Amino acid sequence: MAKKQALGRGLSALLENAGSVIKDKSEIKNPVVVPAPEAPIEVSETSTIGHIAGDISLVPVTQIEANPFQPRTEFSPDALIDLAQSIREMGLIQPITVRKISAKKFQIISGERRFRASQMAGLDEVPVYIRATDDQGMLEMALVENIQRENLNAIEVAISFKRLMEECNLTIEALAERVGKDRTTVTNYVRLLKLPPDIQLGIIEKRISMGHARALINIPESKQLAIFKEIIEKGLSVRKVEDLAKEDDAPKLFRPAKVILPVEFQKMQAELRLKYGKRAKIQRGDSGIGKLEIPFSTDDDLNRIIDLLGL
């Protein structure tokens, strides 16, 4: 008979020998003592739990499904391989948190990365904490726990914040308190979702930092994409991007549209310049209102113009 796959050292020994007395504690470097239950724990015929120690249960991996509210969308294959190797050698040290949705089905609240690595490691069953919650409660627990404990990228955090506000009816203030961050931080993350998809992808792929992204938020989209391209091609610093964004935000000097004089007025202007100097000009708007300018450079020049005008 094939030997049943074990969890590895640590939790497996704890679970399989729950309530047993350790005679020689010196043999264990960091012993974990779980008090034996006062009375045997009853398990119903429909229960899928194999062993129970305190609040931790062993559940077959085939009866656990992914979290539909999982905020993490990217799992590094290399990191999963490393974690799977560690689980093969040491066992799964930290239990997965799940909720029971039927007699033989559990849904992950948090710990999907550990669960995936456990599957890669070939475990038949994993240790879990079972919590009772509805869909909204599960969403909130999953999002908050992942935000606090996992290394989500900035866009995943932003999406998680937005979902918490929209689907759990939380204000920014309530959300900030729930996740242990200040209001400004929450607002800055959510504003990242206003950026074009290409820039959001750049954040996810770590091609630009959140600092770069924040500097781009308040400028027109065409300018955002142009500067984003420069960041990638030239490795611009956050300070340089902030300077470029400020240049774009600076108020533009008002420059009235140039009005083209009708042909007859262009002829008059040419005659004025021949008689009074090349800087003489006629300015006229579409409404017919305008002015005649005859500049002078010296008092003698002024007297000459006055004589020509017959004043």
Q: Determine if the pTM surpasses 0.75.
A: no
Note whether 275 and 267 are within 8 A (CB): no
Sign of CA dihedral 189, 190, 194, 200: positive
Which pLDDT score is estimated for 290?
82
For 18, the enclosing helix (H) or strand (E) is: none
Catalytic residue among 42, 112, 150, 173: 112
Residue ranges of domains in the chain? 11-36+46-134, 204-255, 263-309
Which pLDDT score is estimated for 148?
62
pLDDT in tens, the chain (311 residues): 444 444 444 454 444 444 433 334 333 333 333 333 333 333 333 333 444 334 678 899 999 988 776 656 667 788 888 888 988 888 888 888 888 888 888 988 878 888 889 999 999 999 998 887 766 666 677 667 666 655 678 888 888 888 778 877 888 888 888 778 889 988 999 999 999 999 999 998 889 999 999 999 989 888 899 999 999 999 999 999 998 888 754 444 344 455 677 778 787 888 888 888 878 888 877 777 888 888 888 888 888 888 888 77
Helical axes 197-204 vs 221-234, angle rounded to 10°: 30
Note whether 152 and 72 are within 8 A (CB): yes
Neighbours of 234 (CB within 10 A): 9
Helical axes 299-309 vs 263-276, angle rounded to 10°: 120
Which pLDDT score is estimated for 202?
92
Sign of CA dihedral 178, 56, 106, 59: positive
Q: Are strands 105-110 and 64-65 parallel, antiparallel or unpaired?
A: parallel
Whether 112 is a known active-site residue: answer yes
Note whether 28 and 107 are within 8 A (CB): no
CA distance linking residue 22 with residue 271, whole number of Å: 114
CA distance linking residue 60 with residue 240, whole number of Å: 54
Which pLDDT score is estimated for 138?
67
Which pLDDT score is estimated for 209?
92
Distances (CA, A) of 238 to 151, 211, 232: 22, 6, 12
Fold of 11-36+46-134: 3.90.1530
Query: φ, ψ for residue 70 (rounded to 5)?
Result: -55, 120
What number of helices (H) and strands (E) belong to the chain? 13, 8
Cα angle at 107 between 2 and 190, to 5 degrees? Answer: 135
